[in-house]
Structure 1
Amino acid sequence: MKIRINNHFQIIIAISTVAIVSSCSNVKFLKEGQMLYTGAEVKIENDSISKKEKKALKAELEENLTPKPNSTFLGLRPKLYAYNIAKEPKKDKGFNYWLKYKFGEKPVLLGDVDREFNKDILINYSENQGYFNAQATYDTISKNKKAQVIYTVKPGNQYLISQVKFQEDSTLVNKEIQNLKDKSLLKVGNPFNLDVIKAERERIDNGLKEKGFYYFHQDNIIVQADSTVSKNHKVELNVKLKDETPDLATQQFSIDKVVVFPNYNIRDVKQGKYSVPMNADSLAKYTHDDIYVIDPDHKFKPKIFDRALYFKKGDLYNRADHNLTLSRLISLGVFKFVKNEFVVSDSLNHKFDAYYLLTPRQIQSLRLETLARTNSANYGGGEVNLNWTHRNIFRGAEQLKASIYGAFDVQMGGAKDANNIIRVGANTQLSIPRIVAPFRFNSSSEYVPRTNISLGYEYQSRTQLYTLHNFNASFGYAWKENIRKEHDLKVIDITMVSPQTVTAKYKEQIDGNIEKGIPPNPTLGRVVAKQLIFGPTYSYTYTNTTSPKTNTIYYKGMLDLAGNITGLVTGANAKNGKEKEIFNVPFSQYVKMENDFRFYHKFSEKTNFASRIIAGVAYPYGNSQLMPYSKQFFVGGSNSIRAFRARTLGPGSYDPRTQNASFYFDQSGDIKLEMNAEYRANIYKFLNVAAFVDAGNIWLMNEDSTRPGGKFSKDFLNELAVGAGIGMRLDFSILILRLDLAMPLRVPYYEKGDRWVLDRIKFGDSSWRKDNLILNIAIGYPF
């Protein structure tokens, strides 16, 4: 009998051979007497603590050991092997230098390990966790030029807190400390823990900073531990002020004068134009709400500082208002640097002046941007933007932004006729750093709330098909509760689309042509129909991705209401022929909701996992039987399901290949579900790679005879498209260039039972590659 070894088995043998060679060959580079350090293990000998506590203590102790052994991958040390085989480079550059000193790792030897030092570290850490009688020993195990160190720790019994005292005296600062003791982190019955004691000192310091003790420091607090007064492994804690605490730290300070220099420049200080701190009374000044604003040129209205500054004359100092003021001054967007100083003005009555030294940003800027792009629908093109910004247009830190732009997209290949896209437009936005409304809006957030007004126009031409005029305007508010929660409410958001020309070629696709075998497609007519959309929109964003955590999330929810009140008042009912118009244009009436949830998990400094779920639904009613085309959902493309070309997927099981048209037209839907998962890894500095899986689709709310299979049904899970691929990302900090190569794994418009295409993957077939491999080139991460 003849046995054949297939290609997969040969690959496994090859990988195994390389693994064995690399794992064994690292030690051959060692000199005589050297031993490769493979790591350490800590063994805990204590029967009085639980397995869970023992496991946690073991992990914490091992984390404190130094040095760390060479990194491993699947039990191998490829970086060490790269260091060993690379020749010593002659210059600090080139491939050999990169391989040895950038990718490679210098061997960690047993001689690099200070075992006595590590033993002391283990004892010290154990004692800091309440194991006051800890002992430690170590042993070294060596074999085949490799060595491991085994540390044995006998922690003994962990001491528990039996009593917590806050020592009293007659000082004002001690009185405030007594007021803080009810929320102490030191609890009777808890284990002694040095980290908790440090946190308690910090808590007291923070509490005193809120009560005017500006010069107090956590080092002025001492927590004395006494384990001799109690038996059965108990310890008493005594919290007190240090005897050598400076007198200034025990005094409660209030604000005397608040002085603002909105045109502060460090160069003027160096040239002696003024000194800091300054005597505000001797300077030309004008005041507003007891705030001195030193602005001889009147570049800023003083009222903006009244809104941004939380300190007023006579206020007791507190850190919350201190930090809040600095944050609000920065969020005004008109100051490049914000500096704050407190200077004692009356030591007898414990008062100081608050100085705010503000360096303005460049008030006006003009920026020209150019962008080249390509997408998976065989389009390539570019865009030019000219942006002008004025950051203090009415002297109240109002930002006025105006831009004009031009863009084009040219079809490069493909089975359909080229229909290039040209866009030219302009828009302006005025952002006012306060809520402009007939009602009062109080915000204690560190972020200044804003009133936003925008106006825009775009001319769009799709050659050989149609040209459109698009007008939009909005008025609304944006505010943040904190760094995690953000709101954006557009009280009114108006969009008007008006066609200029519609070619005979496009009309033929709408109306159909029996002689040419082209069926009517009224869906295309909605693209060029006159549209008037107005109503409020609201979005809410929550994220903790700004915090360096292992797990972070991002959520954005959006609600779009159009024509609701108008439709109700006018009694609009398109189904019964009672369609109402404004300026001879039917207005849209619908409810639309979309949710975007993202989850990120950090495995290490260089590897992480990212995922996203998008779910949305749009429901037309009253004056509309169908959703406006511009407000529908789309999938596919570089930031969506990357294995399918942009806007060519769906709705449902509808097969876009049945389109009897000489051009591509976008597929849209009323319901959307999309899921993405991506594993990301950093290879070298700016070079990152990724492996990803995308799934999802769009569906129609109502049946459409021109797109059979598009309506949402209980069978929607069987109509999900699935794609996967790999990507490369060049992260240059200011620019991230992304290349994703994807292929379909499941095609929803194939016959049921035949939609998974895993068994039809043929990388060696050029025709298969042409039809199935989609290259997406984009800027930035997809999510």
Structure 2
Amino acid sequence: MKKNSTKIVAFILIAIFISACNAVKRVPDGKNLLVKNNILVNGKSTNDEIASNQMYQKPNGTLLGYKLRLNMYNLANLNPDSTYQAKFKNNPGLYERQAKVLSAKQVDRLGQSFLYKGIHEFLKNTGEPPVIVDTAKTKKSLTRLKYYYFNNGFFNVKTDYNIDSVGRKKAQVNYNITTGPGYTLDSIKTNILTPALDSLYKTNNEPSLLKSGNQFKTSDFEEEKSRITTYFRNHGAYFFQPTYINYNIDTIGKQNKADVTLIIKNNNIQERDSSRTEPFKLYKISDVNIYTDYSPTNAKTKINDSTAYNNFNLYSYKTLKYKPRAITDAIFITKGSTFSDTRTTLSSRYLNNLKIFNYPSIQYEVDKRDPAGESLIANVYLTPRKKYSFGATLDFTHSNIQDFGIGASVSETIRNVFNRAETLEISARLNIGSSKDMANPNNNFFNVSEYGIDTKLNFPRILMPFGTEKIIPKRMIPSTSIAAGFSKQRNIGLDKENFTGGLSYNWSPKRRNTVKLDLLNAQFVRNLNPGNYYRVYTSSYNELNGIANQYNTDATNIDENGNLIISQGTTNFTNEVLNNQTALTPADAQYKDVESIEERRVRLTENDFILATSYTFTTTTKKDLADNTFYQFKTKIESAGTLLSAISSVASLPKNTNGNYEIFNLEYSEYVKTELDYIKHWDFGKEKVLAVRSFFGIAIPFGNSNYIPFSRSYYAGGSNDNRAWQPYSLGPGSTNALNDFNEANMKIAMSAEFRFKIFGDVKGAIFADAGNIWNVLDNVIDDKAKFNNLNDLEEISLGSGFGLRYDLSFFVIRLDLGFKTYNPAHPEGDRWFKEYNFGHSVLNFGINYPF
């Protein structure tokens, strides 16, 4: 063992030595490979990322400290064509001999093959050439550093650099920054020549970004320009731009302090060869003209149809196809109102949200009819999309149920259905797939299938029998959706028919807040093949069959091999046990196991009818796709069956033998469900991001139900949950996933993931996922599956691992390898690292980040 350890250490040292030598393979003599930029501020090294970004040269990238791309580049032959030709020059007659066997054309082609040329092209393009220390670029970096610190208030900054050798052909550049004292803002004054703007500035309640005592920062001055410009342009100053704002910074006679004077001059107007200045004017809207079918081709043709509605003028080059209110409700620019950029932006958002126009454009012109020249005409140009559009897709899918699937869908969109900007979407889909978890007696590869049709009608307003403008004003961009759908699954579990329908409202109270109210959400699930239960849920069958091997007394229940016959034998044996016709008694553990198996079978084979109402609120601070410092919070409250129970009670409807109400001869579900979901990201720069997520959900049955339908339950495991377990294979509680598809009505989940760049578009991650599911306040009798008290939090699992991501810009391909770190299914004291090995690891494939 000692000899092997010595050999391994020696091998690692040799590999490191070879790599170290290889790193400078293509560094010319007399030059140095840049290995580090060291920024020293007042003698101390700094990790300021913004300062580091001022560098014109940065060292070659590393993967866990190893210069992978540099060494790949060094492995490449930069001139493979010359090397190939040299082989024949150094071996006279070799070309002729090979040409006799392969032909001259094939020998020439061999030089262009992957073996001789392609592999070197790959290494060169994927790799990274050595970064050679360039003093010219170093001086340019130093100049940028000087400006960076100057712009942060260090007006007396001094800079210098030196290059230190740190090995053969290797060097680091030291940037020496002596900042001197930082300047702070002292008095802040204004000099605004236009009286109207001066008055606006004084009445603005928003706090200024320039405050006495703050350190001088150029970025604060630029943000203050933006703040003032936004305020002025939202209060009528149509021609105002940030360039009209200047600052006078006075440090004369000051000890590390600066007096600031904000200067806003009058409007500069260009008139042919001359220019003049005059005070800015605050504009009001005199007219709003809406061109409902504008296009560049008909822009110069005659208006054919027009109408006036609520002080809006609507024009059409052909026949006006919209009811006026459908358009005017989307426009926040009104006659007599003050010009506002915010109103313009909000109108563009709303018009885009209608999904019946392409690229709406809003332009302004000065109204020449106003002698004071303080009026604007707003022209809204709308280009309609095609009324009918057809789409088709073909997808290859992977899900919790299907290992592989092929899905095809067709859709038809009809716009402006009732001439009030409504949109009707009709789609049909077909999916065939393969699943090793499904019953498959014929051993077919494509053993699951599903087809369905969905319709959705969208209204760009709240559909209510009474007005909602005071509660949900149109600036919140409200909409209403009415949806209905049907799908049928074959060879998927018990085979199902699924009917859905719903009425929902959506609006945005603020820019990054959204609300969804599902007033009615109906779902009817009908199991077509409940007798197939034990062929699908084989774990339940094996457990029941094992008990029957000991206690079955009816020979008609078993086949020639002594196994329970599905479904006659399984049903008869279960009834015999529960009716005390076997040797088992209610006090026996096996009796309780049979009772639990039957409880689950009934729950998963019964048809479900759900009529629910839910409210979902989402808020986020995420500004755009590039923003990696943000949080997102989502909460949902759902109530099902309450309305039906209230109607049944008021109408004094009879209950069935189970003491429950029915609709269409079916017991409907009744429960209340709530969910909390919080996501937080921190950006540490250099494409390093820490992301965390926490989730809590619980669904409590009551009244007409004593369990939660499978479609509304929770599961754990999978590529977007705890990645150390397969989907449905974790929990509930400490049961060790006894069933095939384990679910429960309460869930806790927490995840943390550190993401970093490896090279190019390849990213890496290390992660930890914790959580579990439990049964609470329902009819499950297995104590291991239930959440009884806070001590059961010890059953929260922990998975950890690492992953690779390839960023394709529009989506991310993700591979994660998860290891079971803490498994609550094992006995207490034996749960940590019991299965922490590759044999029990789980490889997950996913699209985009999990949170």
The answer for the alignment partner of 2:634 in structure 1 is: 556
Report how far residue 428 of structure 1 moved.
1.2
SS at match of 1:172: helix
Percentage of pairs with the same residue: 25
The answer for the alignment partner of 1:641 in structure 2 is: 722
The answer for the alignment partner of 1:289 in structure 2 is: 310
Pick the aligned partner of 1:203 from 205, 227, 231.
227
Within 5 Å, which residues of 2 pair with 1:375-774?
375=399, 379-412=403-436, 420-437=447-464, 438-442=466-470, 443=472, 448-462=477-491, 466-503=494-531, 505-506=566-567, 509=570, 512-513=573-574, 519=594, 521-547=598-624, 548-567=626-645, 570=648, 578-604=659-685, 606-657=687-738, 664=740, 666-681=741-756, 688=763, 690-702=765-777, 707=782, 709-714=784-789, 715-729=791-805, 731-733=807-809, 737-758=813-834, 761=837, 763=838, 769=839, 772-774=840-842
Going from structure 1 to structure 2, the CA distance change for 1:249 and 1:365 (only over 3 Å counts) comes to farther
Cα pair 1:379 1:412 within 8 Å, conserved: yes
Going from structure 1 to structure 2, the CA distance change for 1:89 and 1:362 (only over 3 Å counts) comes to farther
Task: Read off the aligned partner of 1:361 and give its amino acid letter.
Answer: R
SS at match of 1:314: coil
Q: Deviations over 1:24-65 (max 9, x none)?
A: 44345332332333444344449xxxxxxx888976555434
Aligned partners of 2:59, 2:374: CA distance in 1, in Å? 56
Unmatched runs of 5 consecutive residues or more in structure 1: 47-53, 275-281, 764-768
TM-score by length of 1: 0.85
SS at match of 2:395: strand
Aligned partners of 1:507, 1:674: CA distance in 2, in Å? 40
Aligned partners of 2:383, 2:394: CA distance in 1, in Å? 30
Aligned partners of 2:825, 2:381: CA distance in 1, in Å? 64
Q: Deviations over 1:83-142 (max 9, x none)?
A: 334222569994423432443134232334342x44444444443333333333333434
The answer for the alignment partner of 1:37 in structure 2 is: 34
Cα pair 1:676 1:694 within 8 Å, conserved: yes
SS at match of 1:503: helix
SS at match of 2:181: coil
Aligned partners of 1:507, 1:441: CA distance in 2, in Å? 61
Aligned partners of 1:760, 1:154: CA distance in 2, in Å? 52
Going from structure 1 to structure 2, the CA distance change for 1:175 and 1:576 (only over 3 Å counts) comes to same
Unmatched runs of 5 consecutive residues or more in structure 2: 82-111, 270-276, 533-565, 583-589
Pick the aligned partner of 1:66 from 56, 65, 69.
56
Aligned partners of 1:633, 1:503: CA distance in 2, in Å? 25
Report how far residue 477 of structure 1 moved.
0.5
Cα pair 2:717 2:726 within 8 Å, conserved: yes
SS at match of 2:209: coil
Cα pair 2:266 2:280 within 8 Å, conserved: no
Going from structure 1 to structure 2, the CA distance change for 1:619 and 1:113 (only over 3 Å counts) comes to same
Q: Is 2:345 aligned against 1:315?
A: no
Aligned partners of 1:413, 1:57: CA distance in 2, in Å? 52
Aligned partners of 1:21, 1:157: CA distance in 2, in Å? 48
Report how far residue 367 of structure 1 moved.
2.1
Report how far residue 537 of structure 1 moved.
0.9
Going from structure 1 to structure 2, the CA distance change for 1:205 and 1:606 (only over 3 Å counts) comes to closer
Q: Deviations over 1:188-218 (max 9, x none)?
A: 2223332222222222222211121111111
Report how far residue 632 of structure 1 moved.
1.6
The answer for the alignment partner of 1:83 in structure 2 is: 73
Aligned partners of 1:608, 1:153: CA distance in 2, in Å? 29
Cα pair 1:375 1:776 within 8 Å, conserved: no
SS at match of 1:637: coil
Aligned partners of 2:661, 2:818: CA distance in 1, in Å? 46
Task: Read off the aligned partner of 2:331 and give its amino acid letter.
Answer: L
Aligned partners of 1:539, 1:446: CA distance in 2, in Å? 19
Going from structure 1 to structure 2, the CA distance change for 1:450 and 1:557 (only over 3 Å counts) comes to same
Report how far residue 369 of structure 1 moved.
2.6
Task: Read off the aligned partner of 1:308 and give its amino acid letter.
Answer: A
Report how far residue 316 of structure 1 moved.
1.5
Going from structure 1 to structure 2, the CA distance change for 1:570 and 1:302 (only over 3 Å counts) comes to closer
The answer for the alignment partner of 1:278 in structure 2 is: none
Q: Deviations over 1:637-670 (max 9, x none)?
A: 343334433324322222455x6xxxx4x22211
RMSD, aligned α-carbons: 3.7
Report how far residue 777 of structure 1 moved.
4.5
The answer for the alignment partner of 2:281 in structure 1 is: 251
Aligned partners of 1:775, 1:243: CA distance in 2, in Å? 66
Task: Read off the aligned partner of 1:23 and give its amino acid letter.
Answer: A
Aligned partners of 1:158, 1:84: CA distance in 2, in Å? 46
Cα pair 2:194 2:265 within 8 Å, conserved: no
SS at match of 2:604: coil
Aligned partners of 1:630, 1:510: CA distance in 2, in Å? 25
Q: Which moved more, 1:674-683 or 1:353-362?
A: 674-683
Going from structure 1 to structure 2, the CA distance change for 1:738 and 1:80 (only over 3 Å counts) comes to closer
Aligned partners of 2:255, 2:736: CA distance in 1, in Å? 77
Task: Read off the aligned partner of 1:459 and give its amino acid letter.
Answer: K
Going from structure 1 to structure 2, the CA distance change for 1:111 and 1:157 (only over 3 Å counts) comes to closer
The answer for the alignment partner of 1:129 in structure 2 is: 152
Q: Deviations over 1:565-599 (max 9, x none)?
A: 54356569999963222333223221111222223
Report how far residue 689 of structure 1 moved.
5.0
The answer for the alignment partner of 1:99 in structure 2 is: 123
Task: Read off the aligned partner of 2:613 and give its amino acid letter.
Answer: P
Q: Is 2:169 aligned against 1:145?
A: yes
Cα pair 1:341 1:355 within 8 Å, conserved: yes
Report how far residue 698 of structure 1 moved.
1.6
Cα pair 1:446 1:482 within 8 Å, conserved: no
Within 5 Å, which residues of 2 pair with 1:365-384?
365-375=389-399, 379-384=403-408
Aligned partners of 2:185, 2:764: CA distance in 1, in Å? 51
SS at match of 1:113: helix
SS at match of 1:646: coil
Aligned partners of 1:158, 1:454: CA distance in 2, in Å? 62
Q: Deviations over 1:336-393 (max 9, x none)?
A: 2122221223274222221222222333222223333345667443333222222321
Aligned partners of 1:697, 1:172: CA distance in 2, in Å? 63
Aligned partners of 1:582, 1:732: CA distance in 2, in Å? 50
Cα pair 1:22 1:78 within 8 Å, conserved: no
Cα pair 2:194 2:279 within 8 Å, conserved: no
Going from structure 1 to structure 2, the CA distance change for 1:290 and 1:98 (only over 3 Å counts) comes to farther
Going from structure 1 to structure 2, the CA distance change for 1:261 and 1:626 (only over 3 Å counts) comes to same
The answer for the alignment partner of 1:279 in structure 2 is: none
Going from structure 1 to structure 2, the CA distance change for 1:732 and 1:626 (only over 3 Å counts) comes to same
Going from structure 1 to structure 2, the CA distance change for 1:538 and 1:15 (only over 3 Å counts) comes to farther
Query: Which is greater in Rg?
Result: 2
Aligned partners of 2:654, 2:210: CA distance in 1, in Å? 67
Aligned partners of 1:716, 1:301: CA distance in 2, in Å? 60
The answer for the alignment partner of 2:381 in structure 1 is: 357
Going from structure 1 to structure 2, the CA distance change for 1:90 and 1:174 (only over 3 Å counts) comes to farther
Aligned partners of 2:611, 2:288: CA distance in 1, in Å? 46
SS at match of 1:29: coil
Going from structure 1 to structure 2, the CA distance change for 1:72 and 1:308 (only over 3 Å counts) comes to same
Aligned partners of 1:59, 1:635: CA distance in 2, in Å? 39
Going from structure 1 to structure 2, the CA distance change for 1:511 and 1:595 (only over 3 Å counts) comes to farther
Task: Read off the aligned partner of 2:629 and give its amino acid letter.
Answer: N
Aligned partners of 2:382, 2:194: CA distance in 1, in Å? 41
SS at match of 1:293: strand
Going from structure 1 to structure 2, the CA distance change for 1:19 and 1:204 (only over 3 Å counts) comes to same
Going from structure 1 to structure 2, the CA distance change for 1:222 and 1:551 (only over 3 Å counts) comes to closer
Aligned partners of 2:281, 2:36: CA distance in 1, in Å? 53
Aligned partners of 2:491, 2:676: CA distance in 1, in Å? 31
Going from structure 1 to structure 2, the CA distance change for 1:741 and 1:325 (only over 3 Å counts) comes to same
SS at match of 1:176: helix
Aligned partners of 2:243, 2:750: CA distance in 1, in Å? 51
